[in-house]
Amino acid sequence: MKILISNDDGINARGIELLEEACREVGDVTVVAPDREQSASSHALTMRRPLRTEKRGDGRFQVDGTPTDCVLLALEIVVDSKPDFVFSGVNHGPNMGEDVLYSGTVAAAMEGLSLGIPGVAMSYAGRDLRILETQRGWIRQVAGELAQVKSFPEETLLNVNFPPIPGDQIRGVRVTSLGRRVYSNSVRRMLDPWDRETYWIGGGTSKWTGGKDSDFRAIEEGFISITPVHVDLTNYGLLEEVKSWGIGA
């Protein structure tokens, strides 16, 4: 079993260390990750400057680019043979609902999937990494069991979120759908040293909605959430209706 690991929090993040420890129990691991935090970079590729890949003393590889850059370079340059899985994470913060559209963690798993390799994104839906440390056993269990899946669905990655509670309080695992999150007041107006107006995106408030089977409900109730995310975004139920509009006829 060969596993490629990446993330968007950077090569020095504690979450990627915990995921590496877990995956080494089930296979040979190669870590290729950004040299700095790349949160919310989504599926961006660096195309307007050259990239550098550096092998560190601990055997990992760091890249001065995005999570997608890391997986692409890993598969085309770094590894000698195609891995069986791409695992991404464990992200410091949740990736649920619309987060999957922005998340570099999810994008790294998706890049592996686009190149024919099953992808798993893992995130911790909290900020206190001391609690994440108590979830080592669950990370090992989930990563190990997913790595043994023989018939991974095509064009689908698995998006895993761990609840922000101690490991001994986690109630189990739920298979979920994506919830919805609406952000408010997420743009802050600021002044630079020359009194020019600038804007900083982040923070604000958010409101979750979704059914009983949604990811945020599972996290709220103390379960690990596993959501199958289909890469094909086509709304097939609307194909005939859109054709009936006669656009361009």
For residues 157-185, one letter each, b for 16 or more C-beta atoms within 10 angstroms of the residue's C-beta and e for the rest, the string is bbbbbbbbbebeebeebbebbbbebeeee
| pLDDT score for 249 | 64
Residue showing tokens 């992808």:
119
Query: What's the whole-model pTM score?
Result: 0.93
For residues 66-77, one letter each, b for 16 or more C-beta atoms within 10 angstroms of the residue's C-beta and e for the rest, the string is bbbbbbbbbbee
The fold of 2-179+211-244 is Stationary-phase Survival Protein Sure Homolog; Chain: A, (3.40.1210)
Asked whether the beta carbons of 177 and 213 are under 8 A apart, the reply is yes
If you count them, how many residues does the chain have?
Answer: 249
| pLDDT score for 103 | 95
pLDDT along the chain (249 residues), means of 10: 97 97 95 95 95 95 97 96 96 94 96 94 96 97 93 92 98 96 86 96 81 94 97 92 87
Query: CA 131, CA 72: separation in Å to the nearest integer?
Result: 32
Q: Read off the tokens for 102.
A: 């922005």
Domain ranges of the chain: 2-179+211-244
